[in-house]
Chains A and B, each alone.
Chain A
Amino acid sequence: MGKLLILFLNFLFTSAFCFCQVTRTQSFTCDCNNKKVKDSLIKKYLENNDMYDYNSLKWQLYCDSLITLCPNIAVAYQLKAIPYIKYGDYAAAFSLENKAVELEPKSWTAYRGFLKCIFTKDYEAAIIDFKNAQLLTPNNYEMDHTYLFYMGLCNLELCNYSLAEENFRQSILIETGGNLNNQSHVHCNTFLYTGILYYEMNNNDKAIEALLKCLSIYKDHPDANYYLAMLYKKENNDSLKNKYLLIAKQSKLKGYNIGEDNFYYAYYPHQITLYEIEKELKK
C-alpha cells in the first residue's frame, strides 16, 4: 500500500514535470544533479500544503517519494528524520541524519551536532560535528546560536570548564561582531550558560555578572533567576536567594521558559523545572 502511494505521488508530480522522464521500463528518472531540477522537486514534494504534520503518513510518503526519485537530496532525509528524533527512535533518526550530512555536509553537519548536543546528550560527538561545521562554514549559527555556543554547552556538561569558558568567550565575540562593547546582540542564553559555567567553577562574581546580563535581556528567565538564587545560597544570602527563587517560581507559573524553540522536546543542559524551584524553597 505504501509503495503504491509512493508510486502515485511520483506519477502525480513527475508526469507534469518537464525535467523528469518516463523510461522504457516505465520508471521515472530525473536529472538529479541539476540544481534547478532539485529545487523544483523540493518545492513540489517538501514545500507543499500537505507537509505540515511530521507525524502524518503523508509526511513520510512525500519524503520517501522524493528519495526514490532523487536519492541525493539531503533535506528529504533530514525532514524524514524529524518524527524519529522527537520520539526517541535514534537508530532511525541518525541513519537518516548521517545520510543528509554525507550528501550536504555544509548544510547539515551543525544541525546533527545540535541534535546530539540537545536531544541525545552525546556531547563528545556533538563537539566533533561542531568542529567540522566550524571548518565548513566558520562562525555560523544553528538554531539561533553560534557553533561555539554549543561547543561551550557540551564542554560545560563534560566538565571541561576552561574549554567551555573559551567557547563562550568566542561565541560572545562572534555575536557582538567583534565589538565587545556592543553586547545588545548577544543571546540571553549565552550569558545564562556563561553564568552557569562560572557557578560550577565557583567563580561567583563572574557568575552573578553573567546572569544579571541575561536577566537584563529577559527578566522573567526562570533558569537565570534560579541559578542566581543558587549563587546567593552559596554566599549564605537567604534574602536574595529567596527573592530570586520566588521570581523563578512566578515566571514558571506564568509560563515563561528557557526561551529556546526546542524546549518542548528536550530539556536543555542544566535546565530546571518548577519541581527543583519548589524543592529549594522548601529547604
Chain B
Amino acid sequence: MKLIVLHIFILFSCKAFGQNIILPDGEFMDTTSNHDKACKDYNWYYYQVGGKYPQSSTTLLKEAQQFLLKKNESYSDSGYITFRFKINCEGKMVQKVQVLQTDEKYSSYHFDKNLVNELYTFIKTLDRWKTVKTKEGEPLLYKAFITFKIKNGKVVNIIP
C-alpha cells in the first residue's frame, strides 16, 4: 500500500516539476516544426523587422494576468520564463517552441511545470503578430520571443 502511495506521489511530482523535451540545442515545449516552404526562413529576428508583439508590455501583462486568474493556481517562485519561437507568414507562432528559465539572479532554473504550461497556453492565444515580407515581396519567417518576469509566482512584467 505504502509503495502504491509512493508511486502516486512520484507520478504527480514528475508532472509538476518535470522537464520539457531536452534536445542538444535546448529545452523545448514541443518538437514538431512544420511550416509552409513558400514562407522563407533567412534567420531574421523580430528586431530586424519591427516585430515586437504589437501591444505594449502593460497591455499584454494585463491580458496574461487575467488569463492566469481564470486558472486559479498559486505558485511561489521568482525569475524569468522565456519562450522563443518563429512567426510564420500568416502571423502565427510556429511549433518547436524553446523555453528558457532563470531565477531572479539569472541562473538557470526550473519553475513548476504547470506554470510553464499555463504561460505556454497563453502565448498560443496571441494572434496579432506582424507578418513580414522582403523588399521584393517574398514572405518571411522571423524569430521572436516572449519573456514573463515572475515574482512570488505572479507575472509582474512582460518582455520585450
Contacts and interface: CB of A to CB of B under 8 A. Distances in A.
A224 B61 CA distance: 22
A102 B97 CA distance: 34
Counting chain B CB atoms within 10 Å of each CB, the highest count among A88, A120, A276 belongs to A88
A155 to B, nearest CB: 15
Contacts of A272: 56
Interface residues of B, number: 28
A154 to B, nearest CB: 12
A5 B143 CA distance: 27
Nearest to B84: A88
A83 B50 CA distance: 17
A266 B147 CA distance: 11
Interface string A73-88: 0000000000000111
Contacts of B113: none
A88 B82 contact: yes
Interface in B80-137: 80, 82, 84, 100, 102, 104, 106-108, 128
A246 B114 CA distance: 43
Interface in A217-266: 264-266
B124 to A, nearest CB: 17
Given A90-B82, A267-B56, A121 B157 contact: yes
A267 B60 CA distance: 12
Given A55-B45, A87-B145, A93-B106, A276 B56 contact: yes
A121 B147 CA distance: 11
Contacts, number: 73
Given A89-B100, A90-B106, A275-B59, A120 B45 contact: no
Contacts of A168: none
Given A55-B43, A87-B45, A273 B102 contact: no
Nearest to B43: A55
B55 A264 contact: no
A95 B106 contact: yes
A140 interface: no
A264 B52 CA distance: 8
Interface of B: 43, 45, 47, 50, 52, 54-59, 80, 82, 84, 100, 102, 104, 106-108, 128, 143, 145, 147, 149, 157, 159-160
